[in-house]
Structures are given as structure tokens and as C-alpha cells.
Structure 1
Amino acid sequence: MYNFDVEMPTTVADAVKALAREEAQPLSGGQTLIPTLKARLAAPSVLVSLHGIAEMKGVCKNDAGQLCIGGATTHATVAAQAAADYPGLASLAARIGDPAVRNRGTIGGSVANNDPSACYPAGVLASGATVITNKREIAADDYFLGMFETALEEGEIVTEIKFPIPQASHYEKHLQPASRFPLVAVFVAKFADGVRVAVTGASENGVFRWTEAEAALSGNFSAEALAGLTLSGDQMISDLHGSGTYRAHLCGVMTKRAVIAING
């Protein structure tokens, strides 16, 4: 490690001011950033901790019936407090990493980092959620731009995420046992006006919507509706854990399993 300053703001406004310092970087749960610093892949001169900002924590429902989750809310808290209103999302949170990760990692940090194998981006995109920052509101379809890339601007903080609650949902995850990241995972959300399907862990471009599966399931919500649908392995991640072709195949398998789970 190396020397750096740490700021501990207690309000979003103070955090924004601290991030205006040269080479400042926000620190949420630290589950990605701290290992990155240890490996010397990043070297900010200032870390601005978001952990002490109470207004960025908690889970509640708003008047529009959306589930609102503060950006500094831990995975463990989402798993416990979202279960009654959005069980599919709570199940996703409950299976992230291990207990240490779930008790430190935050939803805002995960969404801001947009790791191509992270769990939350699939839940956010499949839900058609809205990412709230200190500056604006960003629809999920406009937020995720590519691997480790989002619509966030310099100094912008994810303060809250608002989730429309679907009629039914399920997150199906093929676990990579060493890292506990999904090798491929699919979140299926069934709404009154259609179905949304988001895939994580598979594509070189990060999380994406499988629109062909959405169209098929919106017309007939059954595993049989997915028969014959395939994805190309050309732009899928290929590594020692699995080829692009294998990951493309898993997209179909995980989607079918999610639909079967929803239908009981």
C-alpha cells in the first residue's frame, strides 16, 4: 500500500466537496477498490468514504410503490429488508460473495463499478430501475455503457436506486466457486406490460438485456417459449473458466431455469 488521505463526510454535499479534491476517489464498501489499491492498479491521493452518510442508507417503499435503496446500503441489509417487497432482488443480494462481502459491500459501489460479472447490474437492468445520483436520475437502460463503464460523470455519486417491483422475478446464477462471481447469471422480471431479461457475467460488453428472450416470454411465459433461441459466443468472455460459446449456452440454460423457478 501507499500513503493517502481519507475523508469521512457525513452528508452527500460534504462528500461531493471532498471529491472535488485532486485525485480523490469515492470509497463505498471497498470490496473492489481496496484489492485494487493493494495490487497498485489505482493510486488515488484521497479516499472519500461514503460509509458514514446516513441519508444514503436504508430500504423503503415510496408513494409510487417503488423499492428505494440507498447507495450505501449493504448487500446483507438488502437481503434482509427487501425480502417482503421484492424477494427476487433480496435473493440476489443474499447470494453475493460471502458473509464478509455482504456485510461490507454496498449496492451503490457495485452499480458504480459495473464489474462485468457483478450481480446487482442484472437486477437493476432487468427491473428497469432508476439510478439516482447527487446530480440527476438515470434510467438503467441508459446507465450501463460497457465493461466497467457507466454514465456516471467525474465526482458523481450513486445516492439511491429506485426499483419498480415486478409481479414475479428470479435470479439464476451459475457460480464460479473460487471467486463466487457468476460465471453467467440471469435476472428475469415479469411485469404486467412485459418481461425483462438481463444477463451478467457473459458478455465482453458487460451486463445486457436479451431482447429476443424478452419478446418470447412476453408472449408466452414458459420455458418452452425459449426453445430455439440462441446467442452467439463471438462477443462473450472467454477465459480458463469457460469459452464464449459455453457462456452463450449458459445464458439460455439460466434463463430457462429462472422461468421455471418463477412458474413453480
Structure 2
Amino acid sequence: MTRIAANLSMLFTDAPFLDRFDRAGAAGFDTVEFLFPYDHPIDVVKTRLDRNGLRLSLINAPAGDWTAGERGFAARPSKRAEFRASVEQAITYATGLGCPRIHVMSGITAGEPDRAACEAVWTENLREAADMAASAGLFISIEPLNSRDVPGYFIAHQDPTLALIQGLDRRNVLLQFDVYHTQIMDGDIIRRIERLKGAYGHVQIAGVPDRHEPDTGELNYAEIFAAFDRTGFDGPLGCEYNPRGRTEDGLGWAAPYLRTPA
């Protein structure tokens, strides 16, 4: 049965971050995800989750100076210390917020040494992060990002990313299947969902090509939802899209999956 989660870094953005929890709860979501909660104390964020009956499915580890274009550290040999500190902080927050999964971003590797050096440091960093997360009972999520939106990102295609993950030999590191990024870079969505069953631990959705609501653009999300259901995937699908207007006004497509009508 399809379940969805509101990405509070992209939905309800006409409100301050802490007010978005109330908006998500009122709209009928029972689960949320977001990128970076680190500007707010854990107890404050936990209170917002609890008072709205919300579960938290995913956070990102700190990824550097976002406004300056940084997108994580895992594959950047020059950022080893920053990487470990980011994972430590993310584990503290995930544990305190009852979140089972951390998206660890690989980074834009322009200006770093050759690809082999980046792969080597990525592997070493992710093994360390996986072991740290496992000690806390957490999973690590690895997501390829499309090269149109994030040029120079270390991983852009699913199959090479999966090969890197498998090379880690860590059971708590799984692929993050973002339908938007995957359609742009790889396509063949339905067969990928079926073929990669068991390899992904988190899923995100958006319309393609403009990253608006899932009922816009070139993809048939009824078929995509059915494909995930057939695989037995039971995690929430993260709504990581840019609403065309007020978030609530674009939730008609989501009505069957919400606690209350949008």
C-alpha cells in the first residue's frame, strides 16, 4: 500500500521551517523528511513531530556550504575531517528524532584528484559512516543526482552507484531511488523498480521534467506506485518536489494517501 512523506525542505516553504510540521499534519501527512535540521535543537524539532503525530523517515547529513554550491563530502579527499564530523552530527540528530535513515551526500568532485582517488576515499568514508551508523541502529542512504541539476556530482547513474554500494560490503547502506533523478539520467523506471528490488531503502518522487507535483509531466505515477507495491516496498515515498503554488492547493493527487482530505 502506497505511503507518502512530505519533504519539509521543499513543501510548505511559504512558512518558516518549524511551522511546516503543523501544515504537514493538517494536510494529512503522517510522515515527513527533510534535508538539514541542524539550525534547530533536537528537542524543538521532536516537539513539532510529536504534537502532529508525525514520523521522520530521512534526514541528510550536513553537506557543507549549500549556498556556495557544496553538496557533501564523501568523495572529496580534501574534506575527510568535515565528512566525519557531518556523520557524527547526523547520527546525533537521527537518534534523537527517531529517524532510521541518513542520506550521506557524495559531493561535487570538480577540483579534486582523479576519479580513482575520489572512489577510494568515498569507499573508505562510507565504510566508516556505515559502521558508525550501525552502532546506532541506523541506515545510510546513497543517492545519485542528475547532472542537469547538479553538474559535477560524484554519482549520477543508478547502476554505477549500486556497484559502489555493493563494494562496501555493508548491509546498512542502501540506494536512494529518486524517481525524478533516475528518469532524467537512466529512464526505464518501472523495470528499474522491479530489477532493483531490495537494493533501495528510500524512495523520492516528483514530476519530470520540471520537478513539480507528481501528477504533472511525463511520468505515470499510478503505474510507478503500483510497481513499488508489487516489489513489497513498504517505506514512505518522499514528496521531494517544488509545488507550482501553495502546497495544499497541489495535493489533489495525494488525497488517497493522506490521513485526511487535503
Q: Same fold (TM over 0.5)?
A: no
Return the TM-score normalized by structure 2: 0.25
- The structure showing larger relative contact order (alpha-carbon pairs under 8 Å, at least 6 residues apart) is 2
